[in-house]
Structure 1
Amino acid sequence: MEQMATLHIEKLSEGLYLATSDDIPGLVAQGRTIEETLEIARDIAKKLLEARQERQTPIHLNEIEAVFDYPLIVGI
């Protein structure tokens, strides 16, 4: 089952990107590119959600609908 969490992505002065989420406590990811940061954040989110399930303290996220909007960022 796919679920959706909101990420806050910030470009740091060092040129790296930092992702955090109010939806998933403890999620902090850092990468050299937005794509890398998103990939790391996805892996961390999965591990955090699995750990919470094992402790029986689930985080309730919204399920992804069949149709949804997604922001597409294009650099030129």
Structure 2
Amino acid sequence: MEHIATLHIEKLPEGFYLATSNDIPGLVAQGRTIAETLEIARDVAKKLLEAREERQTPIQLNEIEDVFDYPLIVGI
């Protein structure tokens, strides 16, 4: 089952991107590109959520609906 969490992404002065989330405490991911940062954030989120379930302290996230909005970033 897929869930949705909001990520906050900012570009650092060094040129890297940093992702954090208020929905998933402890999630911090950094990458050279937005795509790489999102990939790392997805892996970190999965591991954090699995660890929380093992400790029986799950994080409550919204399930993905059949219809939802998604911001598409296109570089030109």
For Structure 1 versus Structure 2, the TM-score category normalised by the shorter chain is over 0.9
Count of aligned pairs between the two proteins: 76
Q: Structure 1: how far apart are the matches of 2:44 and 2:73?
A: 22
- Post-superposition CA distance 1:24-74 (Å, at most 9, x none): 000000000000000000000000000000000000000000110000011
Question: TM-score scaled to structure 2, two decimals?
Answer: 0.99
Question: TM-score scaled to structure 1, two decimals?
Answer: 0.99
Query: Which secondary structure state, in structure 2, belongs to the residue aligned with residue 60 of structure 1?
Result: coil
Number of the residue aligned with 2:47: 47
Aligned CA-pair RMSD = 0.3
Counterpart mapping for 1:57-68 below 5 A: 57-68=57-68
What is the CA-CA distance between 1:75 and the residue it aligns to?
A: 0.8
Q: Structure 2: how far apart are the matches of 1:48 and 1:61?
A: 13
Number of the residue aligned with 1:37: 37
Name stretches of at least 5 consecutive residues in structure 1 with no aligned partner: none
